[in-house]
Structure 1
Amino acid sequence: MRLFALFLGTALAFVPQDTPVGVASHSYQPTAAVHGTSSNLRRPSPLSEQGDVCVAITGGAGQIAYALVPLLMHGRVFGEGRKVSLRLLDIEACVGALEGFAMEIQDCNSDLVKEVVATSDPEVAFMGADVAVLLGGFPRLPGMERRDLIAKNVPIMAEHGRALAKCAKDGVRVLVVANPACTNCLIAATSAPSIPRSHFSSLARLDQDRLSAMLAEKLCSEETLEQTSAGARTQEPERQHAVRTRQDRNILQLGPSVRGVYVWGNHSPTMWPDVSGAEAKIDGRWVPLQTALQRHGGLPNGTRLLSPAREDGTALDLDSAWRDWISETLVPAVRERGTKVIEARGKSSALSAANAIANHLKDWLHSSTSGTHAGVSMGVFSDGNPYGVPDDVVFSFPVECGEGRHRILHGFRPDMAMLDESAKELVEERREALETLRESERQALS
């Protein structure tokens, strides 16, 4: 094992491969904390307090980590007054890249970064962690079936779960991003029985963000684009429109802010993007989708949008043309967006994924969404949900959250056929993953 540790504002220490853990000099006191025994670190997490935050990131040499760390080191997630200690974990072959990344973080000279540790040892990475972001996993290679991907990732997630249970703080919160995210989250939690399952979640926010952006783009009518290109001053100051003309299709247009959209189910082609409760911010006010469509020319005045989809009457259904656009264009576009990004740039989403992770963590750990209209999409354990999804799978629901807790929102009337399809897929993934886990445990004992 190699360990590279930077204690920013104090000293630079390199611990060679053969150096025993915990032998750093007293001038590097943070090393003693990183490598202390788990017994003296098993205390509640200080996430709701004003202390430093220890964040472990697996897949630390990857492009998502490279985009995520700047958001952490500039206070985007934990606030502008809280220092972070970063633990970057990757496989042995990537530790050199981790060391270079740690140097770059030091060179940023951020007041909010207390220390950086680059390591290939999960127990070192998770020691004393308040938050763990699991980015690292076996990638899906060309021709690989989803079940093959699950089989490759089960041992990785099981190892990480065991290390979290042994080394992280009692109040650690774990966000799983590596795909298949929902089932990876299940295996990590199963392998860490001492950590409450409510402390685990998987990323669904990126799909929600994609859905919001695509719906916002659709709300931009030709009339709106003409007004924008003419310099109209009716735009919201926090979100400007980019103009796309018929002659130049390479400029993406950004519509008004959208909320009240969710993604249900698995992070897979069975996910269900839900716009039944959508609202758009028009001229500084949140208005129902029907009003927004009429404002932007998407529906003629007087068009009636039928059948509220929530019992409180705040959601709405759409006329047949819009239902067709949603089912035939919007839903497939959200499901396929990741593939389109890969086709366009030769790599998977990184900047947007990092942004979604930061928003997920901020909403989950700090800013409460309770009492707001929107809530957020989050992959959580399905136990006791009101929508008939089988227990013991990780499934994306609309939730309200804050201060490290979450609650599945009630009152929706989702498309049950869509939910059933995704639930069946997750139940099958669970069966395959648990079989793989049991087999690997038997081999370890033999």
Structure 2
Amino acid sequence: SGVAVFTGKANCPDYAKAELLADYLQANLPDFRVHKITQHPDKWEQWLHDICEMNGWEHKQSPIVWRELLDRGGKGLLLGGVNEFLDYTQHYYGITSVKLTEEMLGIAEENLQAHIEIEKEGEETKSLIKPLQIWITSASAPICYQLIPLLANGEVFGMTTEISIHLLDTEQFKEVLCGIVMEAEDMAFPLLHSISEHTEVDEAFIRADIIIVLDDVLLNCEVQSLEDYIREVSEICRVYAPLIEKNAKSGARIISSGKTFVNLKAMMIMTYGPSIKPENVIAIATSWESAAKAMLARKLSTNAAGIKDVIVWGNITGHKYIDLSHAKLYGYDCAIWGPADFSHPLLNMIYDSEWIDSEFLSAQSSLSSRIRHCVGMLPAHAIATILRYWYHVSPPGEIVSVGILTKGQFCLPEEIVFSMPVRFQNGNWEVVTELEINEKTQEVLGRIAHELTQEKLVALKEIKEMHPYGTDKTTS
């Protein structure tokens, strides 16, 4: 048993002749099967050369016919061209082709037109596949390595959305980027359309739908001042922002993440890119949110998944306030039970109020250290989570904290990036402004807002040094 394989130029009369005879044989002989491969005339010569070289055949003209011996394995048995195939069919089956040359030419022309149509349809289908273009800066960072599988597995954007990932970093990290690209390709994610490395910053963000900014500075205030680091971050954003305006899609969504100056990066990208829509730029606070929930879960001996609405206010990688006053606890094993959607105010379940005022607050500093020295799983998961919410919806009724540009909410000064509670829906986010803020929280938010305002002024070189809260100095 076997399959006769016919390949020829789409406009070749001899191919048409062999094709007709093959169709007749397949229709009339129970064990005769045919597989036809039509090649465009422009591609025929190269294709023929490659197939002959692979199989060790000698053949120069269209068509080429061979038998695939399915039960024997190995390479196929070359039959030859149209004349050899005619001899073969006459010898084994006593059948010859009786079509006239004019008809062959007509069939050949039909073959060519059909092949062109099929190719055109294929190209049109390919053009409809428009993967999301995701650019990641400072892509040699461990966060990026952990993030790629989360983006490519289909859970963030959906199981029908292909993505193309572009890794951007400096030339010194080219080898690292190439290694990441090769490893990601080897994982063969069905939805990963492509992944590539880039070290030329001028080519950054081309057709970007999503930009994830991971750039960090290695803070060491014994080496240089905090203000110098702020200006360094500002200069990075001064480079990126015009390129985003020039190269990225107009509605590109920009995420600021990392271990340092997350709010500031978001702020300066908007400042140096005035055409970038503020609603398309957010800073990620979810790492702190989830880490705080885990800390509370350990205290309460419960599952962190049951803790909701912990709010991270302020300067995500600087001074922040983890607010438990709106937090809820679901599915907690205690004297009062209710249905699945029943919750307890979390603070009511922590009977040791001193723990909140002392241990929980002091634990936040060790939490800061842990997040700064993490290998990337936590922030990568945070980025993936926020992107999933942004492209779909955040859990109904739940609060999520992200850094956004202020517009006077919660009595905060305008035009700073401040982490606050939001909800995601229909591809957008909205601030949960109905929350009541007590006087103590408002005071804390004021202090943090001052710090962020000072950072912004230093970044813009309007002041040289940051001034403590309570002073009125805003100029150098």
Contact 2:216–2:261, Cα closer than 8 Å, also in 1: no
Name 1:184's counterpart in structure 2. Answer: 265
Tell me the TM-score normalized by structure 1. Answer: 0.68
Deviation string for 1:146-185 (max 9, x for gaps)? 3222121111111111111110001100001142011111
The AA in structure 2 aligned to 1:280 is L
Matches within 5 A, 1:355-374: 355-369=381-395, 372-374=396-398
Instruction: Give the Cα separation in 2 of the matches to 1:292 and 1:112.
Output: 43
2:331 to 261, 265, 282: 282
Distance 2:150 2:282 in 1: 20
Give the drift of 1:424. Answer: 0.4
From 401, 408, 412, the equivalent of 2:435 is 412
1:84-122 CA-to-partner distances (Å, cap 9, x unmatched) read 100100111001110111011110011111111201123
Report the TM-score, using the length of structure 2 for normalisation: 0.64
Q: Which residue of 2 aligns with 1:237?
A: none
Instruction: Tell me, in whole angstroms, the C-alpha distance in 2 between the residues paired with 1:396 and 1:419.
Output: 10
Deviation at residue 287 of structure 1 after TM alignment: 3.9
- Does 1:329 find its partner at 2:409? no
Match of 2:254?
Answer: 174
Which residue in the other structure is 2:235 paired with?
155
Counterpart for residue 275 of structure 2: 194
Q: In structure 2, what is the equivalent of residue 380 of structure 1?
A: 404
**1:102 is the counterpart of 2:151:** no
Alpha-carbon spacing, 1:355–1:213, altered in 2? closer, same or farther (3 Å): same
Distance 2:347 2:449 in 1: 33
Q: Deviations over 1:184-204 (max 9, x none)?
A: 111111111111111111111
What per-residue deviation string (whole Å, max 9, x for no partner) do you get for residues 305-325 of structure 1? xxxxxxxxxxxxxxxx42x32
The match for 1:390 is 413
Alignment partner of 1:411: what SS?
Answer: coil
Q: 1:76, CA displacement in angstroms?
A: 2.4
User: What residue identity is the alignment partner of 2:461?
Assistant: E
Higher helix share: 2
Q: Quote the offset at 1:74 in angstroms.
A: 0.5
Residue number in structure 2 paired with 1:207: 288
User: Which is further off, 259-268 or 398-407?
Assistant: 398-407
Q: Does residue 267 of structure 1 match 2:316?
A: yes
The DSSP-based 3-state class of the residue aligned with 1:435 is coil
Q: Could you say what secondary structure the match of 2:136 adopts?
A: strand
Pick the aligned partner of 1:121 from 195, 200, 204: 200
Q: Deviation of residue 361 (structure 1)?
A: 1.1
Partners of 1:390 and 1:134 in 2: CA distance: 25
Percent of aligned positions that are identical: 26
1:402 paired residue number:
425
Task: Pick the structure with greater CA Rg.
Answer: 2
What secondary structure is seen at the aligned counterpart in 2 of 1:126? coil
Superposed counterparts of 1:429-444, under 5 Å: 429-435=455-461
Q: Which amino acid aligns with 1:199?
A: N
Corresponding residue for residue 160 of structure 2: 81
Q: Which runs of 4+ in 1 moved over 3 A?
A: 286-294
Distance 1:90 1:156 in 2: 12
- Structure 1 Cα separation of the partners of residues 367 and 394 of structure 2: 29
Deviates more, 1:353-362 or 1:330-339: 330-339
Contact 1:85–1:116 (CA<8 Å) still a contact in 2?
yes
Q: Does the residue aligned with 1:413 lie in a helix, a strand or coil?
A: coil
Equivalent residue letter for 2:187: C
**In 2, Cα distance between equivalents of 1:104 and 1:146:** 37
| Secondary structure class of the residue paired with 2:275 | coil
Letter in 1 for 2:359: T
Change (3 A) 1:292 1:424: closer
Amino acid across the alignment from 1:285: A
Residue 132 (structure 1) aligned with residue 211 (structure 2): yes
1:216-243: CA deviations, max 9, x gaps? 11111xxxxxxxxxxxxxxxxxxxx7xx
1:66 equivalent in structure 2: 145
CA spacing shift, 1:335–1:78, aligned 2, 3 Å: farther
**Per-residue CA shift, 1:10-65, capped at 9, x if unaligned?**
xxxxxxxxxxxxxxxxxxxxxxxxxxxxxxxxxxxxxxx99521100011111000
Change (3 A) 1:437 1:268: same
The CA distance in 1 between the partners of 2:327 and 2:414, in whole Å, is: 28
3-state secondary structure, aligned to 2:411: coil
Contact 2:132–2:164, Cα closer than 8 Å, also in 1: yes
Matching residue of 1:233: none
The residue type equivalent to 2:381 in the other structure is N
- Deviation of the 1:137 alpha carbon: 3.0
Distance of 1:277 and 1:177 partners within structure 2: 25
- Distance in 2 between residues matched to 1:151 and 1:73, nearest whole Å: 35
The Cα of 1:368 is off from its aligned counterpart by 4.5
Counterpart-to-counterpart distance in 2, 1:349 and 1:259: 25
The secondary structure found in structure 2 opposite 1:104 is helix
Asked if 2 retains the 8 angstrom alpha-carbon contact of 1:90 and 1:120, the reply is yes
2:453 corresponds in structure 1 to 427
In 1: Cα distance, 2:243 partner to 2:463 partner: 16
Cα distance in 1, alignment partners of residues 340 and 386 from structure 2: 24
SS across alignment from 2:370: helix
Contact 1:181 1:203 in 2 (8 A): yes
For CA contacts below 8 A with separation 6 or more, give which structure has more relative contact order. 1
Cα distance change of structure 1 residues 382 and 84 upon mapping to structure 2, 3 Å threshold: same
Q: Any idea what the Cα deviations from partners look like across 1:383-417, whole Å, max 9, x if unmatched?
A: 131x1110010000101123432211112233111
Count of residues in correspondence between the two structures: 326
1:265·1:419 contact (CA, 8 Å) conserved in 2? Answer: yes
Q: In structure 1, how many angstroms separate the alpha carbons of the residues matched to 2:463 and 2:195?
A: 32
Aligned to 2:111: none
Contact kept in structure 2, 1:90 and 1:136, CA below 8 Å:
no
Q: Measure the CA separation in 2 of the matches of 1:291 and 1:140.
A: 35
Q: How many Å apart are 1:206 and its aligned residue?
A: 0.9
Q: Structure 1 residues 353 and 424, CA, compared in 2 at 3 Å: closer, same or farther? A: same
SS at match of 2:316: coil
Q: Within 2, Cα distance between the matches of 1:437 and 1:95?
A: 37
Q: Quote the RMSD (CA, aligned, Å).
A: 2.4
